[in-house]
């Protein structure tokens, strides 16, 4: 299977400097992010946590090129994307970033195989055979016996695994997941996180997961905590368990 990569290394996949986002709300300015400096490395699986309104999804949207910062810079896989136009950002998203959301957004009339093959068919530079690549990814994620099932014939956890396969279709170095277990029960959520860890181990893909669930964050390798648009914590999970067992165990 043609998903190759290394585990965590020194190559920086995400770098932000003084990243700020201000949102006008009538006569008030909401400071969604306040000077965030962040480095995430190849092969890391990072959880971003924080209370509602802390800036988690705003940060993920800026990293993914879905919004523009008010100030600061963003680099993705060594490329400064801060001032890129929409066409340039679209190309970066297609080549460098896979997205997973809380809502699966699968096309209901297509099978699992067809849903995963679709972004490969639309990619201008894809080196993959769409059906072969889709089949391999779905089999890797334990969906080999559901290739020809439509979303309505799949459980929530199965649909999310199809969505993960679709996000990986063009072999991006970065996978961004916004509340990927938000619509799932505890068991299905744990299976999805295990699938993300499997992908990270198998391919060296960098995975960033935004979640409000501390237990989900604990299944990553590193946890970044945001409060009021600022990073107030950045620890490896094992270290966090040793120092704050009442919160993280």
- CATH at 177: 3.40.50.300
**Residue 249: is its pLDDT beyond 80?**
no
On whether residue 76 sits in a domain, the answer given is: no
Contact 117, 169 (CB under 8 A): yes
Write out pLDDT tens, residues 135-188.
999 998 999 999 999 999 999 999 999 999 999 998 999 999 999 998 888 888
Asked if residue 130 is part of any domain, the answer here is: yes
Q: Which of 12, 64, 58 is nearest to 34 (CA)?
A: 58
pLDDT score at 10 = 73
- Domain hosting 172: range is 45-64+86-248
Give 22-64 pLDDT, tens digit per residue. 998 888 999 999 999 999 999 999 999 999 999 999 999 999 9
Half-sphere CA count of 40, side-chain side, radius 13 A: 31
Whether residue 91 is contained in a domain is answered as yes
Asked whether residue 27 is assigned to any structural domain, the reply reads no
The three-point CA angle 104-154-119 to 5° equals 45
Global confidence as pTM? 0.86
Count of structural domains, the chain: 1
Enumerate residues 6+ apart whose C-beta is below 8 A from 123.
94, 169, 170
Does residue 36 lie within any of the structural domains?
A: no
Say if residues 81 and 14 touch (Cβ distance below 8 Å).
Answer: no
Interval 96-129: pLDDT, tens: 999 999 888 999 999 999 999 999 988 776 788 9
**3-state DSSP call for residue 234?**
strand
Query: What does pLDDT average to over the chain?
Result: 89
């Amino acid at each position: 299977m043609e998903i190759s990569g290394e585990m965590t290394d020194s190559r920086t996949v995400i770098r932000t400097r003084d990243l700020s986002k201000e949102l006008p709300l009538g006569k008030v300015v909401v400071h969604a992010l306040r000077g965030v400096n962040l480095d995430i490395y190849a092969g890391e699986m990072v959880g971003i946590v924080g209370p509602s309104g802390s800036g988690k999804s705003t940060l993920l949207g800026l990293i993914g090129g879905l919004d523009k910062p008010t100030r600061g810079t963003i680099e993705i896989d060594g490329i400064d994307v801060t001032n890129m136009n929409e066409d340039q950002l679209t190309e970066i998203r297609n080549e460098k970033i896979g997205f997973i959301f809380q809502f699966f957004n699968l096309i209901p009339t297509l099978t699992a195989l067809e849903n995963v093959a679709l972004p490969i068919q639309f990619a201008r530079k894809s080196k993959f055979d769409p059906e072969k690549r889709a089949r391999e990814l779905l089999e890797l994620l334990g969906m080999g016996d559901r290739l020809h099932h439509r979303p309505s014939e799949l459980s929530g956890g199965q649909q999310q695994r199809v969505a993960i396969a679709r996000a990986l279709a063009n072999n991006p170095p970065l996978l961004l997941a916004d509340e990927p277990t938000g619509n799932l029960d505890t068991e299905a959520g744990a299976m999805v996180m295990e699938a993300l860890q499997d992908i990270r181990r198998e391919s060296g893909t960098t995975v960033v997961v935004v979640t409000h669930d501390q237990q989900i964050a604990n299944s990553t390798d590193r946890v970044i905590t945001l409060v009021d648009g600022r990073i107030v914590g950045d620890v490896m999970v094992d270290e966090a368990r040793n120092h704050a067992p009442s919160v993280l165990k």
